[in-house]
Amino acid sequence: MKLDVNVLRYLSKDDFRVLTAVEMGMRNHEIVPSELVESIASLKHGGTYKVLKNLLKYKLLHHDSSKYDRFRLTYLGYDFLAIKTLVNCGVFVAVGRQIGVGKESDIFEVAKEDGTVLAMKLHRLGRISFRSVKSKRDYLRHRSSYNWLYLSRLAAFKEYAFMKALEEHGFPVPNAVDCNRHCVVMSLVEGYPLVQVKLLQNPDVVFETIIGLVVRLAEHGLIHCDFNEFNIMIDDDEKVTMIDFPQMVSVSHRNAQMYFDREVECIFKFFRKRFNMSFHETVDDENDVEIDNDEGARPCFSSISKGAGSLDKELAASGFTRKDQEDIEKFIEGGTEGDADSGDEEAESFKLDEMDTNVVEQQLHMSDEETFNCDESADCQRNEDSDRESDGE
């Protein structure tokens, strides 16, 4: 399904009112009866039904008429609510081309009023299954697709909170600009994912930097858990930026050692293969024989002095709770980008379609009168705790 922001141009205040009513109804219903949508939206003269038809036409809602007339949001409907809210808050004014398709996300360029280009990541949990978590996903698959929206929202919030905290501690991450629903807005990283880089001027320096980051993260009490060539961006000056944080865990996690070792091994393996770097051997000048030097080179989890707790505490203060972490861990723990399995048919599928690259300002700019501003949808940044708790099962 294509994110066609042109549709936003045709959506009226009433369309957003009804879309928001469905979202509100989904707090307590997997799929919302039309009467409830009508009573929340409370449009005059039964106007809700006409609007519902319009929203269905644009695939912003899914209609289930098997038992009663019931509706739920599609990812596209959720996208529009988030985009509209962020535009209303002045975070950006236009959506441009798609610049990335991750394992469970779509990334677009967005432009601020002054022309600055940012990156917008729309989380799409449930799009791709991972072998290691397939059974858990199978469990969820038989439940409502709303859970995917809930989990995508958690993933976005976690990503935003972690990015912000890491930035404050001097890690090379994008600047976390804002977050709403399943959408995170951040600075645009120049450069390419390391997986696309065939040649480096200083592979050893880049390697040291990356391993240094894994160690420094652990010293701050965290493990990235998906720190590999897909989630490391590198620019023309070979500066490293790390991205993609929804799966991060604390060093006190029961599988911390395994995650840490896996991460380190993954990086060693990649540099060995791609840049012909050798770690197991160093050449002894005198005898010209190879000596195993692996132990010295490889960081050891147990010998790192971990500042466990410090960043965890900050993150808890940001509103990302232990329950959030537990919820999200159940579903994205253990998956790495290389493990991507087949797509999940039950979740809406989103393909990398050609995006209209020039979406101009007024497409997203509706006048104030046109804009439905309920308290909740106007709240950019952070999905409120109470909301998220009641959103749960």
Residue 243 in the binding site for ligand ADP (CB under 6 A)? yes
Residue 104 in the binding site for ligand ADP (CB under 6 A)? yes
Q: Which does 153 bind (CB under 5 to 8 A by kind): Mg ion, ligand ADP, none?
A: none
* Torsion angles phi and psi, residue 273, rounded to 5: -75, -50
- Site stretch for Mg ion (CB under 5 A), options 97-105, 298-306, 308-316, 376-384: 97-105
Residue 343 in the binding site for ligand ADP (CB under 6 A)? no
On the 0-12 / 13-18 / 19+ scale of CB atoms within 10 A, 44 is: exposed
Q: Which is nearer to ligand ADP, 55 or 243 (CB)?
A: 243
Q: Which of 79, 178, 226, 327 is catalytic?
A: 226
Residue 119 in the binding site for ligand ADP (CB under 6 A)? yes
Residue 348 in the binding site for ligand ADP (CB under 6 A)? no
Contact pattern for ligand ADP over residues 182 through 211, marking x by CB under 6 A: ----x-xx---x------------------
SS3 letters for the chain? CCCCCHHHHHCCHHHHHHHHHHHHHCCCCCCEEHHHHHHHHCCHHHHHHHHHHHHHHCCCEEEECCCCCEEEECHHHHHHHHHHHHHHCCCCCEEEEEEEEECCEEEEEEECCCCCEEEEEEECCCCEEEHHHHHHHHHHHCCCCHHHHHHHHHHHHHHHHHHHHHHHCCCCCCCEEEEECCEEEEECCCCEEHHHCCCCCCHHHHHHHHHHHHHHHHHCCEECCCCCCCCEEECCCCCEEECCCCCCEECCCCCHHHHHHHHHHHHHHHHHHHCCCCCCEEECCCCCCEEECHHHHCCCHHHCCCCCCHHHHHHHHCCCCHHHHHHHHHHHCCCCHHHEEEECCCCCCCCCCCCCCCCCHHHHCCCHHHCCCCCCCCCCCCCCHHHHHHHCC
- Site stretch for ligand ADP (CB under 6 A), options 9-17, 43-51, 100-108, 349-357: 100-108
Residue 16 CB, nearest approach to ligand ADP (Å): 27
Residues in 54-73 at the binding interface with Mg ion, rule: CB under 5 A: none
Residue 230 in the binding site for ligand ADP (CB under 6 A)? yes
The count of chain residues that interact with ligand ADP, using the rule CB under 6 A, is 19
Q: Is 339 a catalytic residue?
A: no
Residue 102 in the binding site for ligand ADP (CB under 6 A)? yes
Residue 84 in the binding site for ligand ADP (CB under 6 A)? no
Residue 231 in the binding site for Mg ion (CB under 5 A)? yes
Residues in 308-337 at the binding interface with ligand ADP, rule: CB under 6 A: 337
Residue 102 in the binding site for Mg ion (CB under 5 A)? yes
Residue 177 CB, nearest approach to ligand ADP (Å): 10
Q: Are strands 340-343 and 94-102 parallel, antiparallel or unpaired?
A: unpaired
- Site stretch for ligand ADP (CB under 6 A), options 95-103, 145-153, 289-297, 348-356: 95-103
- Site stretch for Mg ion (CB under 5 A), options 101-109, 121-129, 184-192, 254-262: 101-109
Give me the residues that bind Mg ion (CB under 5 A), please: 102, 230-231, 244
By annotation, the residues acting in catalysis are: 226
Give me the residues that bind ligand ADP (CB under 6 A), please: 99-100, 102-105, 107, 119, 121, 174, 186, 188-189, 193, 230-231, 243-244, 337
